[in-house]
Amino acid sequence: MILDLRSDTVTQPTPAMREAMAGAPVGDDVFGDDPTINALQQRVAAITGKQAALIASSGTQTNLLALLSHCQRGEEYLVGQEYHTYRYEAGGAAVLGGIVPQPFEVEADGTLDLASVEKRIKPDDPHFPISRLLALENTHTGKVISQQYVNQARTLVDQYGLNLHLDGARLFNAAVASGCSLAELAAPFDSVSLCFSKGLGTPVGSVLVGDRDFIARAHRWRKMLGGGMRQAGVIAAAMDYALDHHINRLADDHANAKLLASELAKLDGITVEPAQTNMVYLNYDSHLTAQKVCQYLKQHDIIVGDSQRLRLVTHLGVPQTAIAHFVACFAAALRS
Ligand SMILES: *Cc1c(COP(=O)(O)O)cnc(C)c1O
């Protein structure tokens, strides 16, 4: 068995998930005729406490739909330098929407400093882009953003008439780790993007939630971007299956990440950051290059990134028994 710790996106659909996909009733979703899509969208709207929901192929697409639906050309969104919506989406909002990013350094806890944000909200002046949106991320690098902080961010955006978007690619992890419901976590936001192809283990699929008018605008953008799908109920069936069977088990991934962090911390020359959800970040000293460590592990059927600051991600393809095996191999790699 290959142990792949690079990301929770490497998860394979389980046999039971494939069975649910194979049996799903489908229709042409561009005509609004796919019953499995319609039911899944209603279900996700309900569990997040929003009026409406829209399926898309990826989290990059749901985030892009959100930015395009909140902001017009020449308007700006305030965002973290290291947030996915700024750094990892190929500049889509600027390229396709003429939307101006105003980035900030991300604080150690994954938040943005709200005093700095407030300073950069532009007054109505023809010199400036029009500030329209604040975009946050939860979890960020596996860290759960506190609800108290999110409420402060809401108060700030209300003061200036901005909207608030959440990239909640791993909001399911935040919900399980914090014990808060998805609806509680989503409540302060005008829109939330959720990924099902991370820890929830579907092969594809993200959902954007918000109010009815907002989702109608996103629906038009999705069509324009070529994101209208036909018998996509097979995807929605996997997502529905994941909602039933793969949320509570995220607690196992979190426990495995904590175990992994505490076992690695016992090794010499390694600095491990505490794990809050399913990600462990560590730095290690070695006479070997990161590439060599990576190659050594590969020979033992373990796949990790080739960086000296290593991210290890636990997921449904990582059983608890794999943790001790990984730590032993990693220690051996550093000694080799
Ligand atoms: C994975 C991820 C996304 C979406 O990525 P896709 O690969 O496009 O689904 C968005 N935000 C964060 C924080 C992510 O980790």
Model confidence over 81-96: pLDDT tens digits?
A: 999 999 999 999 999 9
Q: How far is the CA of 281 from the centre of ligand 1 (A)?
A: 18
Span 210-220, average pLDDT: 98
Average predicted confidence (pLDDT) for the chain: 97
Q: Give the model confidence (pLDDT) of 183-207 as tens digits.
A: 999 999 999 999 999 999 999 999 9
What is the reported pLDDT for 293?
A: 92
Does residue 285 carry a pLDDT above 90? Answer: no
Q: Which CATH class is domain 249-335?
A: alpha beta
Tell me the pLDDT tens digit for each residue of 37-46.
999 999 999 9
- Which ligand 1 atom lies nearest to the CA of residue 140? 13
pLDDT bucket at 128, cuts 50 / 70 / 90: very high
Average pLDDT over every residue of 54-67: 98
State which fold the 9-245 domain adopts. Answer: Aspartate Aminotransferase; domain 2 (3.40.640)
Q: Rounded to the nearest whole angstrom, what is the distance from the C-alpha of residue 332 to the centroid of ligand 1?
A: 33
- Domain borders along the chain are 9-245, 249-335
Q: Is the CB of 89 under 6 A from ligand 1?
A: no
Distance 304 CA to ligand 1 centre (A): 19
Listing DSSP states for 46-79 in one string gives: HHHT-SEEEEES-HHHHHHHHHHHH--TTEEEEE
Is residue 206 within 6 Å of ligand 1 at its C-beta? yes
The verdict on the CB of residue 207 being under 6 Å from ligand 1 is: no
Please give the Cα distance from 166 to 169 (Å, whole number): 9
Average pLDDT on 29-53 reads 98
**Distance from the CA of 288 to the center of ligand 1, in angstroms?**
31
- pLDDT tier, 289 (very low <50, low <70, confident <90, very high otherwise): confident
User: For residue 197, which atom of ligand 1 is closest to its CA?
Assistant: 9
Q: How far is the CA of 35 from the centre of ligand 1 (A)?
A: 26
Statement: residue 308 has pLDDT above 90:
no
Report the distance separating Cα 274 and Cα 259, nearest Å: 10
Residue closest by Cα to atom 15 of ligand 1 = 169
Structure confidence at residue 335 as a pLDDT band (50, 70, 90): confident
Q: Closest ligand 1 atom to the C-alpha of 206? A: 9
Q: How many CB atoms lie within 10 A of CB 289?
A: 11
| Burial label, 284 (beta-carbon count in 10 A; 0-12, 13-18, 19+) | buried
Whether the full predicted model's pTM is greater than 0.85, yes or no, is: yes
Lowest mean pLDDT among 247-251, 284-288, 296-300: 284-288
* 141 ligand 1 Cβ < 6 A: no
Dihedral of CA atoms 104, 69, 75, 118 in degrees, nearest 10, equals: -40
Tell me the three state secondary structure of residue 8. helix
Distance from residue 60's CA to the centre of ligand 1 (Å): 6
175: Cβ below 6 Å to ligand 1? no
pLDDT at site 55: 98
Question: Does 7 contact ligand 1 (Cβ within 6 A)?
Answer: no
| 3-state class (DSSP) for residue 195 | strand
What pLDDT sits at residue 8? Answer: 98
Could you tell me the distance, in angstroms and rounded to a whole number, from the CA of residue 135 to the centre of ligand 1? Answer: 14
